[in-house]
Chains A and B, each alone.
Chain A
């Protein structure tokens, strides 16, 4: 199973600083450009006008009225409903009627097929709500300006920032309504599709991961990682059997609450097996788990356990364990004063390997019901919708509907995991073949990435251009959200509960980080433009 929850970790303090710097710079740039523009068009008066306007804008922010915002929200909402935004349910209905076609028969369901069902539902509902929200948020204000109905609004005491806010909230509510209906249907669909005997697979495991993993090599020395057995995917590291190679985890905050109702400590793993020779294929590879406390020189090792590759394997360790005929209490004797528990895993079979990553061994807490994780995943989609709404609405205050829609979609598209990572690679020069112009030249001239470009002024210009573009990309990379934070469906489809600190909190923070810049930008754009369609 593929899953790395560590990817989502976000440090709130550093992120906040980062955010403040980016927002500050953006504000400065926007204000500076508009001041220069005013001075250029209005002469010396321009400066006065600029500060008057700035004062008015700030004053407006203190005159926000919830009732007016709510009125504009309702207007947006009514508009969407009366303009038949809900016809998306037709597509939704059709998809689910024929979903069986894509899914294969549900007679033989395996754990990872449950995953396919859940991710089908969650993917479908997010990809159906997305266009609805995208269209509504990008075409609302431009259409309002084109039809000049906005004239009747801005000539009332409604502040333009209230229009932006009202639009955002209204569209998000519509999105949430559509999402909620689809999610309810999807929930029933999943539960119905999965036969009774596989129903226990629908659960939300609550893992407590080790804070870090360390490896010992075959001589017993600390190593950065284990052995790479030649997988393209370097996620797991392997330890060799019957040597001193070990993988060591440290679990923090282990206490009574980590035990299940019977007083056992549950370790779940998803180790992977690699054989250097096939040997007796009917016999699985074995590992054992050792709990140890270096301070007390105490260790308890489980019996050898078979690797259950690509599935989960649960090892229950009772609270009271016997070592050399003496009974010890795990929590008292093995957990140290810092409330840490050290766990070591070794492979037993000679010349065979067991692969593991940090997330492959965790303490499994009591499961939560499926619906809990499912609705958290839906919350994740709702937050994505909110983000898109905010970006879309503020884009639509500056440019026409179709352009705003394309812009917003591109931002969303770039925020997807693979694309964002590709952007990172470009920015950090990890992509071979040079920048935009250089790579085009290389492509056309059939030039390999290792060949040097000819040294002449033309290529200096090319490189400078690429360098400039790359720096622009660096900016984009910081402004474009990383949607991986919102990837709560991945947790649920992998059978996990959505954790607060590595998923819900970061996504809330990212969303919050976009509220102020988007609203202010939308307001600013609406404020400085003449509301005539041209």
Chain B
């Protein structure tokens, strides 16, 4: 080697380079547009749809940045994540958001990155701000961010779900939900001139209905690409559950007309006729069978060959119904169709309003009538199972709390017997329920101030 002239050495290097290049070129030959054309990498890329354009919208800046960093992307990303953490700790929100932007430019197809940062904006950052419009702004930022994540990763099932979750859960169930839901239709930012922010709500719909669309898209995607967030039966229930959320929210806001009735009706139909008729591959222990949540005995018999089998399928359906709370929501939907139920809700709402307005006598009467209404419905055998779940019970007990409080304050003697006493006794031991009731009650009190 040492005796070689520099020319000879260069020649050997050149040959080495060429030899090494041949397999690389062979592997990475670009496709000429036809199927299964080009090198191995290109074929694999089209087989698994990993081309940049297959994954989602192409972002030139992101591609350019990754290219410009050569092999240093990992290092750059590390530094950015470290910065992000520090900016979060020191509450430099705008800089944090800018860092987030840079990170997703470098990791545009890393779903967890979108997921984590979207959550960070919608939940953590929003909670740091004090004014509700500010909080809403950051919730929106989170939702918008996730929406962009979806656009960049069309094949991701989970990002659709996450986007839906922010719109459904953060907007619809936060402590500030009443305001958030209003803001979702009429943004506080003057830029939108009293309308919704078109990026997250182009059609000006209720947040639960928008969330339903995201969940539906997620479910459609889920047929080809599995998700790893929830059990499949729960994941597929998300669009239908949004309808229940919607109907309940209408009630809560004091809407008891046709709109609310139709919402419950729609929710029931969707629950029993669409979601309930979906086939799931149930796996209970070692046994497997295809089941539906809404299955008649006839169908179970058909599905199962032998009576033994039928028992097994029956058990599987039971287990799935429990897991998804299927029967509760079905019963609830039927109960909500009863005019007495609607009336009871209305009276309870009246009671709350009256209490806020410090019309205590009216509040006591309305609360009592509401309690009577619920008492009657819940005592009917077909609806007895509704007491298994806490959601409705909390509402009922809030009525009692108002009624009881007015007695306490006025110093009147509380009657020995009253409607829903049995429910109170049943739930008194349940810390969670009572805490929620007290919290809701306290809120009324605060609003009053």
Question: In the complex the two chains form, is B64's CB within 8 Å of A98's CB?
Answer: yes
Interface string of A215-257 (1 = CB under 8 A from B): 0000000000000000111010000000000000000000000
Q: Which residue of A is nearest B62, CB measured?
A: A101
Q: With A98-B64, A116-B95 given, is the CB distance from A280 to B446 under 8 Å?
A: yes
A278 at the interface (CB under 8 A from B): yes
Provide the bound-state CA to CA distance between A310 and B92, in Å. 9
A204 close to B (CB within 8 Å):
no
B130/A284 in contact, CB under 8 A: yes
Would you call B130 and A309 a contact (CB within 8 A)? yes
CA–CA, A112 to B138, complex, Å?
14
Residue interface mask B48-63, A partner, CB < 8 A = 1: 0000000000001100
A108 touches B130 (CB 8 A): no
Does B72 count as interface, using CB distance less than 8 angstroms?
no
* A320 proximal to B (CB < 8 A): no
Whether A113 lies near B94 (C-beta < 8 A) is yes
Contact status B179-A101, CB under 8 Å: no
Taking a contact as CB atoms under 8 Å apart, the answer to whether B175 and A233 are in contact is no
A282 CB within 8 Å of chain B? yes
A98-B61 in contact (CB<8A): yes
Within 8 A of A (CB), among B37-90: 60-61, 64-65, 89-90
Residues of A close to B129: CB separation below 8 A: 309-310
List chain A residues, Cβ under 8 A from B91.
1-2, 233, 272, 310
CB of A13 closer than 8 Å to a CB of B? no
Size category of the binding interface on chain B: 20 to 34
A104 touches B101 (CB 8 A): yes
The interface residues of chain B, by DSSP majority, are classed as helix
Provide the bound-state CA to CA distance between A107 and B179, in Å: 25
Q: Residue A307 at the B interface, CB < 8 A? A: yes
Assembled-state Cα–Cα distance A2/B65 (Å): 29
Residues 263-300 of chain A: 1 if any B CB is under 8 Å from the residue's CB, otherwise 0? 00000000011010011111011000000000000000
Q: Is the interface of A mostly helix, strand, loop or mixed?
A: loop
Q: Is B102 an interface residue (CB 8 A)?
A: yes
Interface assignment of B132: CB less than 8 Å from any CB of chain A: yes
Give chain B interface residues in 290-340, CB to chain A under 8 Å. Answer: none
Q: Is B131 an interface residue when CB atoms closer than 8 A count as contact?
A: yes
Q: Given A98-B61, A102-B105, A232-B89, A309–B191 Cβ distance below 8 Å?
A: no
> Quick check: A110 and B94 within 8 Å, CB to CB?
yes
Are the C-beta atoms of A233 and B446 separated by less than 8 Å? Answer: no
Does residue B390 face the partner (Cβ distance < 8 Å to A)? no
Q: Is B193 an interface residue (CB 8 A)?
A: no
Interfacial chain A residues near B92, Cβ < 8 Å: 1-2, 112
What is the minimal beta-carbon distance from B89 to any residue of chain A, in angstroms?
A: 5
B59 → A minimal CB distance (Å): 8
* Distance between A398 CB and nearest chain B CB, rounded to angstroms: 30
Any chain A CB within 8 A of the CB of B287? no
Residue of B nearest to A280 (CB): B446
Q: Quick check: A101 and B130 within 8 Å, CB to CB? A: no
Is A115 at the interface (CB under 8 A from chain B)?
A: yes
Choice from A104, A275, A282, A285 contacting B179 with Cβ under 8 Å: A282
Residues 483-515 of A at the B interface (beta carbon under 8 Å) = none
Interchain CB contact (< 8 A) of A2 among B90, B105, B132: B90
Contact residue among B61, B131, B189 (Cβ-Cβ distance under 8 Å from A101)? B61
Does any Cβ of A come within 8 Å of B93's Cβ?
A: yes
| Cβ contact within 8 Å between A284 and B131 | yes
- CB-CB under 8 A from B447, the residues of chain A are 280
Most chain A CB neighbours (cut-off 10 Å) among B90, B102, B105, B135:
B90
Partner of A116, one of B60, B94, B130: B94
CB distance from A123 to the nearest CB of B (A): 11
Cα of A285 to Cα of B132 in the assembled complex, Å: 12
**A282 / chain B contacts, CB cutoff of 8 Å:** 132, 179
Question: From residue 1 to 35 of chain A, which have CB atoms closer than 8 A to chain B?
Answer: 1-2
Partner-A contacts on B (CB < 8 A): 60-61, 64-65, 89-95, 98, 101-102, 105, 128-132, 134-135, 175-176, 179, 189, 191, 446-447, 449
**10 examples of A-B residue contacts, CB within 8 angstroms:** A102-B101, A103-B98, A110-B94, A112-B94, A119-B95, A275-B130, A280-B446, A309-B130, A309-B134, A310-B93
Other A-B pairs, 10, CB within 8 Å; known A102-B61, A280-B446, A282-B132: A101-B105, A107-B191, A112-B94, A113-B94, A231-B89, A278-B175, A282-B179, A285-B130, A307-B130, A308-B131
Binding site for B on A (CB under 8 A): 1-2, 98, 101-104, 107-108, 110, 112-113, 115-116, 119, 231-233, 235, 272-273, 275, 278-282, 284-285, 307-310
